[in-house]
Amino acid sequence: MNIFRNDLNTKPDIKVAVQVKKYMMSLNESNLNPINSLSDKLNETFKNVQLNRYVSDVTVQLKRELADYVGHGVKESQILFGNGVDDMLYFLFTAVRTFKTSYALSLAPSYFDYKTYSGSVGLEMEFLDFNQDFNFSVDDYLERLNSQNCELGIICNPNNPTGHLIPDKKIINILQKTTKPILIDETYFEFSGKTFVDMIKEFPNIIISRSFSKSFSAAGLRFGYIVSSEENCIFLNRVMPVFNCGILTQSIALTILQNKSLFIENNNKIVSSKEEMYNEMKKYSEVTVYQSYTNFLTFSLGEMSSDFYNYLLDNDISIRPVGAHPLLKNHLRVTVCDDDSNKAFLTALSTFLRKE
């Protein structure tokens, strides 16, 4: 018997449906483990952590260094952080939900878990589908966004799982014609280099989300942050637990940030490997693959996709089916990783298509 809210009766379970294999290319994680590359520095960090305290200097220092990293004149008071972007989404959805009929609007297909977490707080989710070339009508978006029950617009940029960037012109057009909060999810920012942080002054309804899970190689750390106006952060903070992010997490995030060159170097490598993989995959007439501004490539082998997915599993390679939305029927998503994994994937593709 469900003793909680009625709508939880029909809400799907929250679980990760991913196969664990030798080559993990399914969750857009990084191949680099900071525990290995920063072990001495982390040991030093841990010695100074006061685990017996709620309050720590680390929080102040991390906000300062994050503000520096984000740049564009952003101040510490414009940053809030938590256990991954997912956590921050949860707080944001809690902050905007007003009535049972309240909804957030996202383009589709996009990050699957917008719906998961909006559903958790009883916020409805509506979608405007991209068209065939992943474009959309700004007028249609604005009509749905500016309707009375819409409390939040979401733009994932670059978008997961398509990997494409939304044209600046379209985002600016939307921002010029609404006062509703607009979440621009920049989880893959470091791979695209595209940010709207510099527009927060002009459009204070922008809320940017960023993650340490991808380009900072720390998905298991669970650290993500939000950048917005000082005023938005004050209000958003009112729905967050006072010590929501552990001191150990913050200390590791700070150490990672202080050694960011290591990760930037790895990101550059991933971006060039992605180009190589894209060009290799494009050589096959059976493969449709899209340009991506992230650390993954989305592609299709048409009716053969599902067989290829299973073939990869048999070869110890885990990637992600992303065909739930009709626009991406039969599509798969592969994370660009280290040379070994990328080679294993390309070899499997070649063998599967018997092109060797």
Find the binder of ligand PLP among 38, 107, 155, 156 (CB under 6 A): 156
Q: Closest distance between ligand PLP and the C-beta of residue 185, in Å? A: 5
CA distance 334 to 322: 10
Number of residues located near ligand PLP, criterion CB under 6 A: 13
Query: Does the protein bind ligand PLP through residue 102 (CB under 6 A)?
Result: no
DSSP-derived secondary structure for 199-221 = GTTT-TTEEEEEESSSTTS-GGG
Query: Does the protein bind ligand PLP through residue 213 (CB under 6 A)?
Result: yes
Query: Does the protein bind ligand PLP through residue 111 (CB under 6 A)?
Result: yes
Fill in the amino acid letter for 2.
N
Find the binder of ligand PLP among 56, 78, 187, 228 (CB under 6 A): 187
Shortest-Cβ-distance residue relative to ligand PLP: 84
Find the binder of ligand PLP among 31, 160, 232, 341 (CB under 6 A): 160
Query: Does the protein bind ligand PLP through residue 190 (CB under 6 A)?
Result: no
Quick one: CA torsion of 234, 237, 243, 249, rounded to 10 degrees? -90
Query: Does the protein bind ligand PLP through residue 123 (CB under 6 A)?
Result: no
Residue 43, phi then psi, degrees to nearest 5: -60, -40
CA distance 326 to 159: 16
**156 or 336, CB closer to ligand PLP?**
156
CA distance 200 to 190: 19
Tokens representing 176?
């010029």
Find the binder of ligand PLP among 128, 172, 219, 327 (CB under 6 A): 219
**78 or 211, CB closer to ligand PLP?**
211
Please report, for residues 74, 189, 298, the alpha-carbon distance to residue 131 in angstroms, rounded to integers and kept in the order given: 35, 24, 16
Query: Which positions lie near ligand PLP, rule CB under 6 A?
Result: 28, 84-86, 111, 156, 160, 185, 187, 211, 213, 219, 224
